[in-house]
C-alpha cells in the first residue's frame, strides 16, 4: 500500500516535470522580443552580427526542431549555453545557487522561528492584547512590498550593516573568522528582509491551525487531567497544527532555489533571483529554461518529501 | 680727468645671469611638475552587470578598454585622434593601404613582447571569422582584406577599396595577445567565443593596457592592478575595483557610508544630495540622447498623416525640452536636435537646432492642414482621431507625461504602452521587421563614441532590423554614409554635417535632450579625467591613470 502510494507519487512527479519543461520552452518563446534583438543592439553592431547570432543560437531552425534538440540535450544532462556569456547554463546556475542558498536558507529559518513564536504567543494568549498585537504585526509585515521593505532596512542600517554584495571584495588577506564575519554581516540585511516578508503568512496559518487544534475534545480532556496551558500546547496542539504548516514550509524550501528576485536586486546579491531577472531582460532562453527546470524539480521533489513526511506526522495516512 | 671704475656693466651682466638662472628654474619646475602621491586603491561603484571577459562574446567594453590597447585613442577634450599602441601612420595614395608603426619594446603583463604581430593577428582573426565567432566586431573590419606585420613595429592593413574611417574602426579593435588567443583561432574558430579569459591560478588576465585584471566575480566585482609593463604613463594608483550594483539607491548609499570611494554614473536625482553631503560631483556633456521616434515608413497602413513633414514640425513644436531637462534629469541634460551631440566636438553640426516649444505655432500648422478638433478636443485627420500609442520603457514614464501634456495642448492624444527593451525593439519593427505598425516610440541613442560612424550607421537601410529602430531608410543618406566611410578624415566632417541636417529634416528621430554623464567621488581623491562615458570608460584608457589620494 505504502509502496503503491510512493510509486504513484513518483510517476506524478515525472509527468509534472515533463509538462513543466515543455511549457517553459514554449512560454519564453511566446514573450515579445528575442535574444537576438537584444544582444545585437550593441555598439558597432551589424547585419553580420545579427545573422551570426541567429545561427549560433539555432533560432533559424523550426521551433519543433529546437524543442527536440533541447529535450535531447536535456536527457543527457546538458542544459545548454547561456546567450549572455557563452558559458554552460549549469555552471552559471551553480554559482548563483551557491550565493542564493545560504542567504535564503537563513531568511527562511528566521521566518520559521518568528512565525512559530508569533503563532504560539497569539494562540496561547488568544483574544488578548498580545494576540492582537502579534497577529497585527505579522499581517502588516506581510503586506509591505518586499522592495520597499528592503530599501527601508537598507537606509535604516546604512553604515551599520553592509548594503550590497556577498562580501567585501576589498578585504585583503582576511583570517577565517574575519571572512566568516564579513559574509554573515553581508547576509544579515537580505535575510532579515526575506524573513520579515515571509513570516507573516506562515504565522497566520500556524495560528489558525493551533486555535483549531486547541478547540478539540482531546485538548479539553488533557486540561481536565491537569495539564498546564503550556503543556497542552507543547505536547498536543503544536504537533497536530504542524500538518497544514508543513506543506507551506515545503513550498518555501522549494522556492529557495529561485532566490528572491526583489531582495537580491536591492542588495545587489548575485543569486539565482538576479540571474533570472537579467535573463528575462536579455531573453536568455537557455538560462531561463535552466532556472525554471531547477525550480520545477525543486517543487516536485519537496512536494514528494512532504507527502512522505505526512506518513510520519499523520498516523491516519499510514493506516 | 681720471674716470672712476664703472660697475654698471658688471651689474648688468650679473643681473642678466640671475634672470637667466631664475628662468631656467621656472622652466624646470614647469617641465617637471610634482608627481601626484603614488599608491592607493580606488573603489568605484556602478549600476549594471558585468558581461563577459571575452570581447567576442558580449559586453564588458569598459573592462576591455582598460586592459587591452588599441592602435589609436581619443583626446578627451578635443576629440582628436592620438597615437596609442600605434605611434604614427601613413596612407597610400589610393587609400587602400594603411601602415602603422607601433610602440617599441612594449610588453604584455606576463612579460611577453607586445608587437605589431599581435595587432596583425587580432585583425586577421576578427576578419577571418567575422561571419561567425567574431561577428560583433565585423563592422570594425569593413572591407579589410588582411593585416600584415612586416616586422615587430610595423603592421600594414590592406583594404579592397579606399577606406577613410580606418582609424575609428580598425584602429579601435582591442588588440589581443597572440600567444594566448592563437590556439583558439585554429580551425573554425569555435573555441574563440567559449574562452572565458579569466584570471587563473593567481595570475591576472594577460593585459596590455595600463591595468591588468586580477579578480572577476560575475555581477559582483572586478579588480584591477597597475600593469608593471605598460608602455604608457605609469598610473599613480596601485589599482582599483569596480563594484556592480543592481539598485541606484544602494549605490548612492554605499558612497555615503564609505563602502566605495566613487560612483561612475550618478543618477541625476541623487546629484544634489551628494553635493550637500560633501562629495565632489562633476557632470560632463554626454554622447547619449533621449529622443522621440516618429515612424517614417511611407508603407505604414494607419495614421498616414504623421508622414506629413508639416505635421512632424508641429509635433516637434509640442515638445517642451526645457521642462524635460529640468524635471526628468534635474537639469543634467540639455535640449538638442542633432543626432551627433556637441560632446563629439567638431563632428557636431551647430546649425542643427531644435524648434522652440510653441503650442501656438503647432496649432497654427495643424489648423492650416484642416485637422480640426472633434467634440472631445482631439483633432481628426483623414477621418481618424489623432490619437497615438507611444512605445516606451517604464523608466521613461515621467518624460512621457510631459510629452503627453504638450501634445494635449495641440489636440493630439498620446497613450503609453510600456515595454522592456527587447519587446520595444520588436514592437517598433513589427510586423516581422517591416516597421508598419508603430507610430511613436521614446528612444535612446547616441554617437556611440567620439567618432560619429556608429551613430550615423543606425539610420542606414542596411541597419533595419538590427540597430535601426526608427525605421528611417533613405538611399541618399546611405550614399552619404558610404562616402564619409571612404573619405579621408578631413573630408568627412562636411559630409557628416550634411547627414545630420538630413536626419533633422526627416524627423524620424526627434532628439529631445542630450544627457550629461555625472560622476561623484570622495574628496580624499583627485585627478579624475572626465569623459562623456564616465571615469570607468569605454572611450579612453586615460580616465583613471592620474587618479591619486589627496595628500594630507
What contacts B383, CB < 8 A, 6 or more positions away? none
Number of domains in chain B: 3
- Structural domain includes residue B79: yes
- Structural domain includes residue B61: no
Chain A contact present for B215, CB below 8 A = yes
Residue count (chain B): 552
Q: What is the pLDDT of residue A66?
A: 87
- CATH number assigned to the domain comprising residue B509: 3.10.105.10
Interface-testing mutation among A32, A157, A261, A285, with chain B (most B C-beta atoms within 10 A):
A32
Highest mean pLDDT among A122-126, A149-153, B387-391: B387-391
How close does chain B come to A36, measured CA to CA in Å? 9
CA–chain centroid gap for B134, Å, is 21
In chain A, which residue's Cα lies nearest the Cα of B43? A170
Q: Compute the distance between CA of residue B438 and CA of residue B432 in angstroms, rounded to an integer.
A: 12
Quote the radius of gyration of chain B (alpha carbons, Å): 27
Residue-wise pLDDT for B454-468, tens only, equals 899 999 999 998 889
Q: Of B148, B175, B200, at which residue does a domain stop?
A: B200
Percent of chain B with pLDDT over 70: 93
Q: Of B182, B200, B218, at which residue does a domain stop?
A: B200
Q: Do both B110 and B226 map to the same domain? A: no
Q: B49: buried, middle or exposed (CB in 10 Å: 19+, 13-18, 0-12)?
A: buried
Q: Do both B342 and B470 map to the same domain? A: yes
Q: How confident is the model at residue A41 (pLDDT cuts 50, 70, 90)?
A: low
Across the range B52-77, mean pLDDT stands at 87
Q: How confident is the model at residue B4 (pLDDT cuts 50, 70, 90)?
A: very low
- Structural domain includes residue B337: yes
CB A116 within 8 A of CB A206: yes
Q: Which three cell numbers stand for residue A245?
A: 504548516
Q: What is the pLDDT of residue B27?
A: 39
Q: Compute the distance between CA of residue A233 and CA of residue A239 in angstroms, rounded to an integer.
A: 9
Closest Cα to residue B487, out of B170, B172, B161?
Answer: B161
Give the closest of A86, A162, A268 to B245, CB-based: A268
Inter-CA distances, B232 with A32, B105, B205, Å: 47, 11, 19
Q: Do both B425 and B299 map to the same domain? A: yes
DSSP string, B340-374: S-GGGGGGS-TT--PPP--HHHHHHHHHHTT--B-
Interface-testing mutation among B44, B59, B135, with chain A (most A C-beta atoms within 10 A):
B135
**Quick check: B247 and A266 CB within 8 A?**
yes
Give the closest of B249, B423, B448 to A154, CB-based: B249
What contacts B1, CB < 8 A, 6 or more positions away? none
Q: Of B160, B183, B200, at which residue does a domain stop?
A: B200
Q: B260: buried, middle or exposed (CB in 10 Å: 19+, 13-18, 0-12)?
A: buried
Q: What are phi and psi of A70, to 5 degrees?
A: -60, -45
- CATH number assigned to the domain comprising residue B144: 3.90.76.10
Q: What are phi and psi of B145, to 5 degrees?
A: -85, -50
How close does chain A come to B403, measured CA to CA in Å? 26
3-state secondary structure of B136: helix
Residue-wise pLDDT for A66-114, tens only, equals 888 888 888 888 888 888 888 889 999 999 999 998 999 899 899 999 9
What contacts B544, CB < 8 A, 6 or more positions away? B42, B66, B210, B211, B235, B237, B240, B528, B529, B535, B536
- Count CB-CB contacts under 10 A for residue B491: 12
- Structural domain includes residue B64: no
**Quick check: A50 and B194 CB within 8 A?**
no
Give the closest of B58, B420, B467 to A281, CB-based: B420
Beta-carbon contacts below 8 Å between A and B: 173
Q: Compute the distance between CA of residue A173 and CA of residue A171 in angstroms, rounded to an integer.
A: 7
**Quick check: B51 and A84 CB within 8 A?**
yes
Q: Which three cell numbers stand for residue B407?
A: 501634445
* Cα angle, residue B422 at apex, residues B417 and B428 outer, rounded to 5°: 55
Q: Which three cell numbers stand for residue A78?
A: 546538458
Q: Residue B232 belongs to what domain range?
A: 1-56+207-279+522-552
Q: What pTM did the predictor assign?
A: 0.86
Q: Compute the distance between CA of residue B325 and CA of residue A197 in angstroms, rounded to an integer.
A: 38
Residue-wise pLDDT for B206-226, tens only, equals 999 999 999 998 888 999 999
Stretch (H or E) spanning B456: helix B453-457
Q: Do both B52 and B188 map to the same domain? A: no
**DSSP collapsed to 3 states, A68-106:** HHHHHHHHCCCCCECCCCCCEHHHHHHHHHHHHHHHHHH
Torsion, Cα B104 B110 B112 B116, to 10 degrees, reads: -50
How close does chain A come to B50, measured CA to CA in Å? 10
- Structural domain includes residue B511: yes
Q: Report strand pairing: B144-151 vs B154-159.
A: antiparallel
- Structural domain includes residue B380: yes
Q: What are phi and psi of B222, to 5 degrees?
A: -125, 135
Cell 543560437 sits at which residue? A57
b/e per residue A18-40 (b: at least 16 CB within 10 A): eebbeebbeebeeeebbbbbbbb
**Quick check: A281 and B54 CB within 8 A?**
no
Torsion, Cα A14 A16 A19 A21, to 10 degrees, reads: -80
Q: What is the pLDDT of residue A9?
A: 78
b/e per residue B370-401 (b: at least 16 CB within 10 A): ebebeeeeebbbeeebbbbbbbbbeebeebbe
Q: How confident is the model at residue B33 (pLDDT cuts 50, 70, 90)?
A: low
Half-sphere exposure of B263 (CA within 13 A, CB side): 33
How close does chain B come to A81, measured CA to CA in Å? 9
Residue-wise pLDDT for B296-346, tens only, equals 999 998 999 999 999 999 999 999 999 999 999 999 999 999 999 999 999
Q: Which three cell numbers stand for residue B488?
A: 579621408
Q: Which three cell numbers stand for residue B491?
A: 573630408
Cell 483574544 sits at which residue? A127
Q: Do both B74 and B159 map to the same domain? A: yes
Q: Do both B318 and B450 map to the same domain? A: yes
> Which residues of chain B are within 8 Å of residue A46 when distances are taken between CB atoms?
135, 138-139, 462-463, 466
Residue-wise pLDDT for B469-515, tens only, equals 999 999 999 999 999 988 888 899 999 999 999 999 999 999 999 99
Q: Do both B436 and B317 map to the same domain? A: yes
- Structural domain includes residue B63: no
Strand intervals (E) in B103-219: 144-151, 154-159, 211-217
Q: A8: buried, middle or exposed (CB in 10 Å: 19+, 13-18, 0-12)?
A: exposed
Inter-CA distances, A222 with A216, A235, A242, B67, B415, Å: 10, 10, 19, 75, 67
Torsion, Cα B356 B361 B362 B365, to 10 degrees, reads: -130
Give the closest of A31, A34, A42 to B136, CB-based: A42
Cell 504565522 sits at which residue? A203
Alpha helix ranges (H) inside B302-342 = 309-317, 321-323
Closest Cα to residue B521, out of B550, B499, B545, B486?
Answer: B550
- Structural domain includes residue B39: yes
The full set of domains in chain A, from first to last, is: 2-318 (1.10.3720.10)
Q: What is the pLDDT of residue A44?
A: 60
Q: Do both B396 and B485 map to the same domain? A: yes
Q: Do both B441 and B315 map to the same domain? A: yes
Q: What is the pLDDT of residue B20?
A: 44
Interface-testing mutation among A34, A38, A39, A46, with chain B (most B C-beta atoms within 10 A):
A46
Give the closest of B215, B219, B454 to A44, CB-based: B454
> Which residues of chain A are within 8 Å of residue B429 when distances are taken between CB atoms?
37
**Quick check: A45 and B258 CB within 8 A?**
no
- CATH number assigned to the domain comprising residue B48: 3.40.190.10
Q: Do both B215 and B338 map to the same domain? A: no
ipTM, two decimals, is: 0.80
Cell 576591455 sits at which residue? B64
Q: Do both B455 and B551 map to the same domain? A: no
Q: Compute the distance between CA of residue B217 and CA of residue A164 in angstroms, rounded to an integer.
A: 14
Chain A contact present for B259, CB below 8 A = yes
Chain A contact present for B422, CB below 8 A = yes
Highest mean pLDDT among A302-316, B396-410, B475-489: B396-410
Closest Cα to residue A207, out of A245, A236, A235, A234?
Answer: A245
Q: Report strand pairing: B384-385 vs B548-549.
A: unpaired
Q: Do both B139 and B96 map to the same domain? A: yes
In chain A, which residue's Cα lies nearest the Cα of B419? A32
Q: Compute the distance between CA of residue B325 and CA of residue B333 in angstroms, rounded to an integer.
A: 5
Q: How confident is the model at residue A313 (pLDDT cuts 50, 70, 90)?
A: low
Q: Compute the distance between CA of residue B337 and CA of residue B31 in angstroms, rounded to an integer.
A: 43
**Quick check: B135 and A43 CB within 8 A?**
no
> Which residues of chain B are within 8 Å of residue A151 when distances are taken between CB atoms?
247, 249
Q: Report strand pairing: B262-264 vs B41-47.
A: parallel
pLDDT at B9 over 60: no
**Quick check: B217 and A281 CB within 8 A?**
no
Amino acid at each position: 500500500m505504502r509502496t503503491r502510494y510512493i510509486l504513484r507519487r513518483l510517476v506524478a512527479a515525472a509527468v509534472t516535470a515533463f509538462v513543466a519543461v515543455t511549457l517553459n520552452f514554449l512560454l519564453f518563446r511566446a514573450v515579445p522580443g528575442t535574444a537576438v534583438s537584444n544582444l545585437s543592439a550593441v555598439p558597432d553592431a551589424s547585419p553580420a552580427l545579427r545573422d551570426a547570432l541567429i545561427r549560433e543560437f539555432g533560432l533559424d531552425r523550426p521551433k519543433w526542431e529546437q524543442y527536440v534538440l533541447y529535450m535531447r540535450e536535456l536527457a543527457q544532462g546538458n542544459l545548454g549555453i547561456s546567450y549572455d556569456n557563452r558559458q554552460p547554463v549549469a555552471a552559471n546556475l551553480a554559482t548563483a545557487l551557491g550565493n542564493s542558498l545560504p542567504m535564503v536558507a537563513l531568511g527562511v529559518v528566521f521566518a520559521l522561528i518568528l512565525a512559530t513564536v508569533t503563532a504560539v504567543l497569539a494562540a496561547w494568549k488568544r483574544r488578548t492584547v498580545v494576540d492582537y498585537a502579534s497577529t497585527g504585526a505579522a499581517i502588516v509585515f506581510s503586506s509591505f512590498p518586499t522592495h520597499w521593505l528592503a530599501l527601508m532596512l537598507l537606509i535604516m542600517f546604512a553604515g551599520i550593516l553592509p548594503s550590497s554584495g556577498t562580501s567585501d571584495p576589498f578585504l585583503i588577506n582576511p583570517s577565517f573568522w574575519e571572512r566568516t564575519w564579513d559574509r554573515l554581516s553581508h547576509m544579515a540585511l537580505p535575510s532579515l528582509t526575506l524573513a520579515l516578508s515571509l513570516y507573516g503568512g506562515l504565522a497566520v496559518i500556524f495560528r489558525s491551525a493551533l486555535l483549531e487544534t486547541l478547540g478539540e475534545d482531546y485538548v479539553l480532556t488533557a486540561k481536565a487531567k491537569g495539564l498546564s496551558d503550556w503543556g497542552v500546547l507543547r505536547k498536543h496542539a503544536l504537533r497536530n497544527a504542524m500538518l497544514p504548516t508543513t506543506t507551506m514550509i515545503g513550498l518555501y524550501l522549494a522556492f529557495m532555489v529561485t532566490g528572491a528576485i526583489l531582495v537580491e536586486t536591492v542588495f545587489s546579491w548575485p543569486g539565482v533571483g538576479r540571474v533570472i531577472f537579467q535573463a528575462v531582460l536579455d531573453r536568455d532562453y537557455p538560462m531561463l529554461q535552466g532556472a525554471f527546470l531547477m525550480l520545477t524539480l525543486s517543487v516536485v521533489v519537496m512536494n514528494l518529501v512532504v507527502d512522505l513526511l505526512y506518513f510520519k506526522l499523520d498516523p491516519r495516512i499510514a493506516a | 680727468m681720471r674716470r672712476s671704475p664703472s660697475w654698471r656693466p658688471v651689474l648688468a651682466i650679473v643681473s642678466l645671469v640671475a634672470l637667466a638662472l631664475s628662468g631656467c628654474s621656472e622652466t624646470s619646475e614647469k617641465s617637471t611638475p610634482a608627481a601626484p602621491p603614488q599608491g592607493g586603491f580606488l573603489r568605484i561603484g556602478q549600476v549594471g552587470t558585468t558581461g563577459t571577459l571575452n570581447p567576442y562574446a558580449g559586453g564588458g567594453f569598459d573592462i576591455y578598454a582598460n586592459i587591452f590597447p588599441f592602435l589609436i585613442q581619443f583626446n578627451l577634450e578635443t576629440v582628436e585622434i592620438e597615437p596609442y599602441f600605434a605611434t604614427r601612420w601613413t596612407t597610400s595614395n589610393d587609400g587602400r593601404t594603411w601602415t602603422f608603426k607601433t610602440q617599441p619594446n612594449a610588453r604584455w603583463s606576463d612579460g611577453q613582447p607586445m608587437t605589431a604581430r599581435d595587432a596583425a593577428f587580432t585583425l586577421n582573426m576578427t576578419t577571418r571569422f567575422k561571419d561567425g565567432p567574431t561577428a560583433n566586431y565585423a563592422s570594425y573590419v569593413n572591407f579589410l582584406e588582411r593585416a600584415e606585420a612586416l616586422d615587430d613595429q610595423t603592421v600594414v592593413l590592406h583594404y579592397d577599396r579606399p577606406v577613410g574611417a580606418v582609424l575609428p574602426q580598425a584602429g579601435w579593435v582591442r588588440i589581443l595577445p597572440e600567444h594566448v588567443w592563437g590556439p583558439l583561432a585554429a580551425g573554425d574558430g569555435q573555441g574563440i567565443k567559449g574562452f572565458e579569459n579569466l584570471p587563473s591560478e593567481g595570475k591576472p588576465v594577460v593585459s596590455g593596457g595600463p591595468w591588468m585584471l586580477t579578480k572577476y566575480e560575475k555581477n559582483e566585482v572586478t579588480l584591477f592592478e597597475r600593469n608593471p609593463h605598460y608602455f604608457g604613463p605609469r598610473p599613480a594608483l596601485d589599482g582599483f575595483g569596480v563594484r556592480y550594483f543592481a539598485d541606484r539607491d544602494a549605490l548612492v548609499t554605499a558612497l555615503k557610508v564609505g563602502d566605495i570611494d566613487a560612483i561612475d554614473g550618478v543618477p541625476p536625482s541623487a546629484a544634489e544630495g551628494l553635493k550637500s553631503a560633501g562629495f565632489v560631483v562633476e557632470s560632463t556633456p554626454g554622447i547619449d540622447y533621449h529622443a522621440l521616434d516618429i515612424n517614417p515608413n511611407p508603407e505604414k497602413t494607419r495614421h498616414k498623416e504623421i508622414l506629413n513633414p508639416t505635421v512632424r514640425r508641429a509635433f516637434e513644436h509640442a515638445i517642451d525640452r526645457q521642462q524635460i531637462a529640468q524635471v526628468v534629469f534635474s537639469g543634467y541634460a540639455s535640449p538638442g536636435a542633432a543626432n551627433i551631440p556637441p560632446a563629439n566636438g567638431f563632428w557636431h553640426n551647430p546649425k542643427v537646432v531644435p524648434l522652440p516649444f510653441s503650442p501656438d505655432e503647432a496649432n497654427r500648422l495643424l489648423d492650416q492642414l484642416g485637422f480640426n478638433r472633434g467634440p472631445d478636443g482631439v483633432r481628426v485627420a483623414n477621418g481618424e482621431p489623432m490619437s497615438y500609442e507611444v512605445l516606451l520603457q517604464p523608466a521613461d514614464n515621467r518624460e512621457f507625461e510631459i510629452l503627453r501634456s504638450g501634445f494635449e495642448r495641440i489636440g493630439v492624444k498620446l497613450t503609453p504602452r510600456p515595454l522592456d527593451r527587447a519587446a520595444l525593439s520588436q514592437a517598433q519593427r513589427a510586423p516581422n521587421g517591416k516597421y508598419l505598425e508603430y507610430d511613436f516610440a521614446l528612444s535612446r541613442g547616441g554617437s556611440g563614441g567620439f567618432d560619429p560612424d556608429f551613430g550615423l550607421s543606425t539610420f542606414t537601410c542596411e541597419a533595419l532590423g538590427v540597430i535601426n529602430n526608427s525605421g528611417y531608410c533613405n538611399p541618399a543618406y546611405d550614399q552619404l554614409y558610404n562616402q564619409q566611410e571612404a573619405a579621408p578624415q578631413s573630408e568627412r566632417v562636411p559630409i557628416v554635417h550634411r547627414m545630420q541636417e538630413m536626419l533633422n529634416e526627416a524627423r524620424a528621430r526627434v532628439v529631445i535632450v542630450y544627457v550629461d554623464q555625472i560622476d561623484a567621488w570622495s574628496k580624499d581623491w583627485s585627478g579624475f579625467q572626465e569623459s562623456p562615458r564616465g571615469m570607468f570608460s569605454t572611450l579612453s584608457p586615460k580616465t583613471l591613470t592620474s587618479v591619486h589620494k589627496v595628500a594630507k
